[in-house]
Structure 1
Amino acid sequence: MKRRNFIQKTALTTGVLSMGGILAHANEAKKNVDAHTFNLKYAPHLGMFKAHAGEDPIDQINFMADQGFTAFEDNGMMKRDVSLQTNMGETLAKRGMTMGVFVVDKGGNMANTLAAGKQEYIDIFLDGCKRAVEVAKRVNAKWMTVVPGGFERNLPIGVQDGHVIEALKRGAEIFEPHGLVMVLEPLSDSPDLYLQNSDQTYMICKGVDSPSCKILYDIYHLQKTEGHLIHNMGLTWDEIAYIQIGDNPGRKEPTTGEINYKNVFKWIHEKGFDGVLGMEHGNSKEGKEGEQTVIDAYKEVDAFM
C-alpha cells in the first residue's frame, strides 16, 4: 500500500472510531437528558423493575438510571460474587449513581445479639465489618446497615444498652479510617428485636459518639412503631444519615397507604438532605404495569416544589 493511501485510510479509520466514541457518549448523555429529574436521591433495588429490564442486575441498574433514579441500594450485596460486585460498582459510577446501603453480614437480624455482650457474637459482628470494608471499596459504598439483634431478656436494659454501645464502638473503629458509616436500623418486625424506636437509636449513636455510627430512619418501620414522623425525624435529625421508604400498611410504594409522602419528602428536602432514600418496599401491582405505577408514584410525591 502506498504511504499516502495508508495515511488517508488510517486517518479515516481513526476518525470513524473517534466518531463512534463521540456518538456513544452522546447517546449516554441523551439518556441522562431524557430521564426524569427527581428532587431527592431515591434508590431502587434489584427485582423492582425486572419485568422491564430483565433478570440481569446490570440491565436493571441501567433501566433505573434511564428513569432518572440517581441512587441504588442492595441489601444482599455482601453475598454476591466479587466479579458482579465490581461490575455493579463500575456501572453505578458510569451512570453517575450513588451506591446506597448493603447489610453487614452478622448472621441475621435476630441472631448474634450484641445486647448479650458475648465475645463470640462480637467477633462475628467485627468479622462482618471487616469484610464489609472490602465490599464497600468494590461498589463505592459509604453506608452499611447494622441491626444489633434481639433483646437479651435476662439482662437489665441499661446493661444491654452498654453492651450494644461497646460493640458498636469497636465496629466504628473498623469503619472510621475508610470514611464508612454503619447505619443502625430500628425495626418493627418483631417485639423481640432490641432496636425499635428512633429515640433509642439516637441514644445509642450518642453513646458510640462516632461519625461512623448513625441512624437509618426507615419511615415504614417507624410509622408502625411510633408515628409522628416529621416531629421525630426533627428530634433525631443530627444523627440521621440514611432514610428508607415504604408506605403503611402493606409496605408498598408511596400513595398506597396512609403516609403523606409528599409532605414528608418536602420536609426532608427543605432540611437540605442530600443523602440516599432507599426504596425498600414491594410493588403494589405485578409486571410492567406495577413497575410503571412505582415510577409514577415517585414522580407524584416528588412534585413538592
Structure 2
Amino acid sequence: MVYLNQDSPYTTDPHHSKHTKMKRRNFIQKAALSTGAITMGSGLSYASTPTHPKASNKFKLKYAPHLGMFEHHAGKDPIDQLNFMADQGFTAFEDNKMRTRDVTLQEKMAQTMQKRGIEMGVFVAVFLKEGHVASGDLEKRKAFLAHCKESVEVAKRVNAKWMTVVPGNLAPKIKKGYQQAHVVETLKQASAIFEPHGLTMVLEPLNFFNHPGAFLTDSPQAYDICKAVDSPSCKILFDIYHQQIQEGNLLPNMEACWDEIAYIQMGDNPGRNEPTTGEINYWNILKFIHEKNYNGILGMEHGNSRPGKEGEQAVIDAYKSVDSFAR
C-alpha cells in the first residue's frame, strides 16, 4: 500500500504497461489463490502444529485491531498481542507500520496469524514526508512506483492483499483537472505492478479537518478515479470516520460507490475512538454492510476512549454491541 499524503512521497515509471489488460485477465484467478501464493512466495512454511487454537470468531464481521490497542492486557510483544486478539474472537488484523518492521518480526507475525486464523488487512506501503503525485512530477512518480514494487515483497511476506494509498496533497498552482489526470496516470502504472500478484491498493479519502490540503477527500472523487484507472488493483478504502466529517450521508454514499469499495475502516466521531463513543450509528451501518454480503475486513483504525485495561475491555464490548446490528 502506498500512503500519499502530506507526510508521504511517491513516483512511477513514465510509461504505462501495454500488457495491463492481459494481466487483468489473470487477476481473478491469482487473487483467489493469493493467500497460498503469497505464503509460498515468502519462502516460509507455516504448517507447524499451532501452540494456540485457531481464533474462534465471535463476531459476524471481520473487525481488525492494530498493535497497541490491547497492550495493557497482552503486553508490548506483537506476537502476544496477536494471540490476545485471536483469543477475543478477532479474525483479522491491520498494521499501518508493517512495511517498516524488521523482516524477522514480519515473518513471525505472519506465522502467528497463519496459525491463529487471522487474516492480514491493510498496511501502508509508503508514508512520504513530503511531495505529491498530483503535480505530475516524473521523479515523484518514479519514487512512488519504486515503493509499490517494494511493497509487493512485504505483502508476500505477511500474506497481505491490500495496501493503503493516499495520493498526497493538492498542487495549488495546477488546475484540478490536470492534477486528477496526473494521479490517474500514476495509479494506472501502479496497478500494472500489483495486478500480476493479485494485490489491491485501496485509495483512502481523508477529511479536511485532520488533513487540510489533501488531494483525495471524498468518496465520489475516489469513485471517479477508480473508474478512470479501471483496474481490479485500484479500489476504495472507505474510512467511515473520515467520511462522516467530510461528507456525511454515509449509507447513500456507500451505496453509490459500493462496487469500487474493497476495504472499510471504522472510528467514531468526534474523537476517533471505538464505536458507541460518538455520533455515528454503527448498528445501522454494520447492518447495511452485512446485508451487502461484505466478506472483507473492517479495520479498527481508531484509539481507545479510556486508558488501561478498562479502556481495552470497553473496545471489545463496543464491538460486541454494534456487531449485534440492533440497539
Taking the aligned partners of 1:270 and 1:92, their CA distance within structure 2 comes to 28
State the Cα deviation string for residues 230-265 of structure 1 (Å, max 9, x = none). 110000000000000000000000000000001100
Matched, 1:129 2:145: no
Contact conserved, 1:112 with 1:124, CA < 8 A, in 2?
no
> How far off its partner does 1:112 sit?
2.3
Residue 81 of structure 2 corresponds to: 60
Could you tell me which runs of 5 or more consecutive residues in structure 1 were left unpaired when the two chains were aligned. Answer: 1-23
Which SS does the other structure have where 2:235 is aligned?
strand
Residue 20 of structure 1 corresponds to: none
> How far off its partner does 1:36 sit?
5.6
Match of 1:120 among 139, 159, 169: 139
Match of 1:150 among 166, 169, 176: 169
Taking the aligned partners of 2:211 and 2:305, their CA distance within structure 1 comes to 23
Matched, 1:248 2:291: no
Contact conserved, 1:106 with 1:125, CA < 8 A, in 2?
no
Match of 1:51 among 72, 75, 82: 72
Contact conserved, 2:52 with 2:115, CA < 8 A, in 1?
no
Match of 2:62 among 41, 49, 54: 41
Residue 185 of structure 2 corresponds to: 166
> How far off its partner does 1:28 sit?
3.7
Contact conserved, 2:107 with 2:158, CA < 8 A, in 1?
yes
Taking the aligned partners of 1:99 and 1:106, their CA distance within structure 2 comes to 19
| 1:65–1:71 Cα change, 3 Å | same
Contact conserved, 1:43 with 1:73, CA < 8 A, in 2?
yes
Match of 1:179 among 198, 206, 209: 198
Taking the aligned partners of 2:128 and 2:211, their CA distance within structure 1 comes to 17
Contact conserved, 2:244 with 2:269, CA < 8 A, in 1?
yes
Q: How does 1:1-305 map to 2 (within 5 A)?
A: 28-29=52-53, 32=55, 35=56, 37-108=58-129, 111-188=130-207, 189-304=210-325
| 1:137–1:156 Cα change, 3 Å | same
> How far off its partner does 1:124 sit?
1.3
Taking the aligned partners of 1:123 and 1:70, their CA distance within structure 2 comes to 36
Contact conserved, 1:113 with 1:150, CA < 8 A, in 2?
yes
Residue 8 of structure 1 corresponds to: none
Taking the aligned partners of 1:229 and 1:104, their CA distance within structure 2 comes to 27
Q: Which has the higher helix share?
A: 1
Taking the aligned partners of 1:288 and 1:168, their CA distance within structure 2 comes to 42
Residue 7 of structure 2 corresponds to: none
Which SS does the other structure have where 2:262 is aligned?
strand
**Range with bigger deviation, 140-149 or 111-120:** 111-120
> How far off its partner does 1:190 sit?
2.4
Identity fraction in percent = 63
> How far off its partner does 1:106 sit?
4.7
Given residue 221 of structure 1, which amino acid in structure 2 is its aligned partner?
A: H
Could you tell me which runs of 5 or more consecutive residues in structure 2 were left unpaired when the two chains were aligned. Answer: 1-48
Higher CA-based Rg: 1
Query: Relative contact order (C-alpha < 8 Å, sep 6+): which is higher?
Result: 2
> How far off its partner does 1:107 sit?
1.4
Given residue 67 of structure 1, which amino acid in structure 2 is its aligned partner?
A: Q
TM-score under structure 1 normalisation?
Answer: 0.88
Measured on the aligned residues, the alpha-carbon RMSD in Å equals 1.3
Given residue 65 of structure 1, which amino acid in structure 2 is its aligned partner?
A: A
State the Cα deviation string for residues 258-302 of structure 1 (Å, max 9, x = none). 000011001000000000000000000000000000000000000
Given residue 290 of structure 1, which amino acid in structure 2 is its aligned partner?
A: G
Given residue 310 of structure 2, which amino acid in structure 1 is its aligned partner?
A: E
Taking the aligned partners of 2:140 and 2:94, their CA distance within structure 1 comes to 26
Contact conserved, 2:57 with 2:91, CA < 8 A, in 1?
no
> How far off its partner does 1:150 sit?
0.3
The count of aligned residue pairs is 276
| 1:82–1:135 Cα change, 3 Å | same
Contact conserved, 2:171 with 2:179, CA < 8 A, in 1?
yes
Given residue 133 of structure 1, which amino acid in structure 2 is its aligned partner?
A: V
